[in-house]
A = this chain, B = another copy of it.
Amino acid sequence: MVLDYGKQAAWPNGFGAQESPIALHDAQVVANLHLAVTAPYRMQTELDDGTTIKLLGLGQVQIGTKAYDCVQTHFHVPAEHVIDQPAALELHFVHQNAIGQLCVVAVLFTKGAENPLIQQVIDDFAPGTQHAEAIDLSALMPTAGKVYHYLGSLTTPPLTEGVEWYVIQPKHATVSAEQAAWFVHQFGTNNRDLQPRNDRVIQCFDLE
């Protein structure tokens, strides 16, 4: 059954106090944290999951002293996390570390120039299928920008909490209006509603 973004209140398990996405304001500025790609994000499978394009493959990020392996990447249009105003697209690099902790690195894209890597993902997409793919998404992981760090949940069922989020607003990352429109035409809007922040702390630091 395809997830219905028009009936989010009926999604299972969204009852916790630490759900995602949230609006990212009033963040506490902290010292910079080392965040670096330690193995390229080579995607090997592209699939239509009914609500978005999902890409499965390899990749690893090192955050502080912890290494996280990429499980899958996928797209939300419009963006789910909101900083000042909603971004056009949000790319989720979903990771898990050796003991099973989940960590999503989210990248916000504003409207502007066409993004050639995302265009390749669009061009290679075949509705209703799962097929082999060969694309390196490492260049979509920003090397400069602001990082927002907080504790939240998956944004689709089972909406599991305990997920560590690093939401990056890059210095320069754009998709074209046509690319954003392509996703909405294909899947409808697929952004979960903003959730209550409750008493959660958001940390913010510069990516260098």
At the interface, yes or no: A45 with Cβ under 8 Å from chain B?
no
Write the chain B residue with the least CB distance to A17.
Answer: B100
Please list 19 pairs of residues, one from A and one from B, whose beta carbons are closer than 8 Å in the complex, sorted by A's number. A28-B98, A30-B98, A33-B65, A34-B65, A64-B64, A64-B65, A64-B66, A65-B65, A98-B201, A98-B203, A99-B149, A99-B150, A99-B151, A99-B164, A99-B200, A100-B151, A100-B200, A100-B201, A101-B164
Q: How many copies does the complex hold?
A: 2
At the interface, yes or no: A73 with Cβ under 8 Å from chain B?
no
Contacts of A98 in B (CB 8 A): 28, 30, 201, 203
Contact code string A189-204 (vs B, CB < 8 Å = 1, else 0): 0000000000011110
> In the complex, which of the residues B34, B64, B203 contacts A99, with contact meaning CB atoms closer than 8 Å?
B203
Enumerate A130-171 residues with CB–CB distance to B below 8 Å. Answer: 149-151, 161-162, 164
Contacts of A162 in B (CB 8 A): 161-162
At the interface, yes or no: A20 with Cβ under 8 Å from chain B?
no
A interface, CB within 8 angstroms of B: 18, 28, 30, 33-34, 64-66, 98-101, 149-151, 161-162, 164, 200-203
Contacts of A18 in B (CB 8 A): 100
Contacts of A28 in B (CB 8 A): 98
Q: How far is the CA of A58 from the CA of B96 in the complex (A)?
A: 31
